Amino acid sequence: MIRGMNVLITEGCDARPLEWLRQRATVVEASCADTDFERHLAVADGLVVRTYTRVDAALLAKAPRLRVVGRGGVGLENIDVPACRARGVEVVYTPEANTFAVADYVFGAMLQLLRPWAAFRERAYEPQEFKRIRNTVRGRQLDELTLGILGMGRIGRRVGHIAANGFGMRVIYNDLVDVSALLTCAAEPVDKPTLYRSADVLSIHVDMRPGNRNLVGAEQLAMMKPSAVLINSSRGEVLDAAALADALRGGRLAGAALDVYWPEPPGADFPLLGLDNVLLTPHIAARTTTAMENMSWVVRDVVEVLEGRRPRFLAP
């Protein structure tokens, strides 16, 4: 155990990483809404968060002993990294933790949008209806389609790998940097207008850096094929949900799947509710048993910092 070191966990931790951490530090689990949260924060040397704990200057001012913040996940939008470092607080995260899980989700959503299953459960279809469905329902094969990836980071590259090498799709992408040396599949970099115009499936994998709010809005959606579908498993803020609803209702886009929203969860007036060609899921793309434990292992890097060693994944 790190003598006298306290680690505060605000949004839970999987059992094995939690037990590992308890052997090395004094651990307290308390959410930001707990009445004792600020008391625990005041003596915390390490802080472990996930998605909804906002680490900003106001929180840091109440944490005089804090030396490290661990984000169990990929995005860092809820952490003011410059403010942390200005106070000598390091930030670590788990950029590789959920790559496979989110990519799996993308193809699950893609297939549901493109291959109507007409499943039955409580009763079998009557013979006439059974025959009518078989004679009328038609899906689309992935090997005939072009996948456009907006954001070719770890998850985007994994999606491209599966699309090209597993399904035989043509893959095009747009990213701010040259990622060609990191690719494990045939994929062509294109500008954004070409991406939108050419994609049969647009999969969004960008972060919420400045300038990305409503990155995909009415102008971009208007460039897309009426037969195209869109999948967003990155950040809710990067997609204009109202513009997407207008495009879907107007027949200018064939379908969409969203796992992320802004705000989150969405309210009763969310414009995409009630549409048959939309799949809405409650931010579960990364929710596999393996990915959740992977994200919880951010505690390893928290301990590395507390023990004076360089962590594996420093926040950029």
Domain parsing of the chain, residue ranges: 6-97+290-306, 99-280
Res 2 pLDDT > 80: no
H runs (alpha helix) in 234-281: 241-249
Quote the CATH superfamily of domain 99-280: NAD(P)-binding Rossmann-like Domain (3.40.50.720)
Query: Residue 208 — pLDDT band, cuts 50, 70, 90?
Result: confident
Of the candidates 264, 307, 309, 312, the residue annotated as catalytic is: 264
**Mean of the pLDDT values across residues 168-179?**
97
Q: How confident is the model at residue 3 (pLDDT cuts 50, 70, 90)?
A: low
Q: Is 161 a catalytic residue?
A: no
Catalytic residue among 87, 213, 252, 283: 283
From the candidate CATH numbers 3.40.640.10, 3.30.1490.70, 3.40.1360.10, 3.40.50.720, the one assigned to the domain spanning 6-97+290-306: 3.40.50.720
| The pLDDT of residue 198 is above 90 | yes
235 catalytic? Reply is: yes
pLDDT exceeds 90 at position 102: yes
| Rounded Cα–Cα distance for residues 40 and 66 (Å) | 11
Q: Clarify whether 264 is annotated catalytic.
A: yes
Question: Quick check: 10 pLDDT over 90?
Answer: yes
Which of 40, 154, 158, 235 is the catalytic position? 235
| Count of CA atoms in the C-beta half-sphere (13 A) of 172 | 16
Question: Which residues share a beta bridge with 44?
Answer: none
298-312 pLDDT, tens digit each? 999 999 999 999 999
Sheet holding 26-29, edge to edge: 26-29, 6-9, 46-49, 68-71, 90-93
